[in-house]
A = this chain, B = another copy of it.
Amino acid sequence: MAGVSIASASRVLNGHGASVETERRVREAAASVGYVPNAVARSLQAQRTDMLALAVEDIGNPVYVAMMRAIEEVAAGAGYRLQVHATGADVAGEVELLDGLARRYVDGLVISPIRITDAHLAALARVPTPVVVVGSLPDDMPTTKPIDNVRADSHTGVGLAIDHLVAGGRRRIGFVNGPLDTVPGAARQAGYLDALDAAGLPFDPELVEPADFHYAAGRAATRRLLDRAEPDAILCANDLIAVGALHALLAAGKRVGEEVALVGMDDTDLAEMSFPQLSSVSLGSAERGRLAAELLLARLAEPGRPAQRVTVAPTLVVRASSDTAAKQENP
């Protein structure tokens, strides 16, 4: 403290107008002592932490990595820092996290639960802090709290893939899905059945094999599928599964893209980095992350605004794994 009141110092440091002389003295003193304001004290007074949180099942999954990257970018751009939580898809943990928001250690949360239970909904109904959910919230959400919601459209996405495969002459389209009791697993299953139906193709249970959303499971499931059926195409519920499927197919000596077409979902970096490169349905993970972050910032700026529900349209990215023409010059 060199000369002026503590209040004046605060004013100068926050650019709230002070005389030239005061300003000089304060800055000088601050520089000489190496003064840096304490963020925690400031947060306590300001009632905001300038921090956002992201909770996903696994911060190593490429889909969430893409989402996290996008969110971090938006957050950093707006002066917010990002806190990450790996939930391991544990419901109790997710609910605890939601309830923990009452401690006010972050200003807002983006959460992408792989399953959405009643416990989640109950917790969401009592959070005191803005939350945006990535994933499909039930339509009959109680409107006590405005919870913003960003969703993918897997159902349509699966349709895009099936239509593409059918157009390429494929008729026996296998499907390696994730767990049916997850939000994406259920949606993709429904999409598969509806798309077959729309294409006039019969449903053959032999062609469907459940897995979980990871590489090893995808590979094992595809191996089982190949053992008992002869698909001329395989659709996978995400890229991790698809890469597993690719291995199973290659190991079985199949020419991927010709004998058997392969399509993944999420269009992660993996799709481009496989050989042959994988066709994949983009569900816009980065885009969803970006939107989620923006919705959160918007609500922070205007807490009273009505709850938004935005859906990102899927797009199909065709690459060599399902495109005989491209195969020649792959990738």
* Chain A contact residues, CB within 8 Å of chain B: 34, 36-41, 43-44, 49, 51, 58-60, 65-66, 68-69, 72-73, 76, 81-86, 99, 102-105, 126, 215, 243-244, 246-247, 250-251, 269-270, 272-275, 330-331
Contact = CB atoms under 8 A, between A and B. Distances in A.
B69 A60 contact: yes
Contacts of A104: 38-40
A3 to B, nearest CB: 23
15 contacts: A37-B103, A38-B104, A39-B105, A40-B104, A44-B44, A60-B65, A68-B84, A72-B84, A81-B105, A82-B84, A82-B85, A83-B84, A244-B273, A247-B273, A274-B275
Given A59-B69, A250-B275, 5 more contacts: A38-B104, A41-B44, A65-B65, A76-B86, A274-B275
A81 B106 CA distance: 11
B36 A40 contact: no
Contacts of A99: 36
A41 B59 CA distance: 29
A215 B83 contact: no
A83 B82 contact: yes
B215 A272 contact: yes
A43 B103 CA distance: 11
A83 B59 CA distance: 13
A83 B83 contact: yes
Contacts of A76: 85-86
A126 B330 CA distance: 53
6 nearest A-B residue pairs (beta carbon):
A36-B102, A39-B105, A39-B103, A40-B43, A40-B44, A243-B273
A105 B273 contact: no
A330 B86 contact: no
B83 A51 contact: yes
Contact of A72 (B44, B51, B86): B86
A36 B129 CA distance: 13
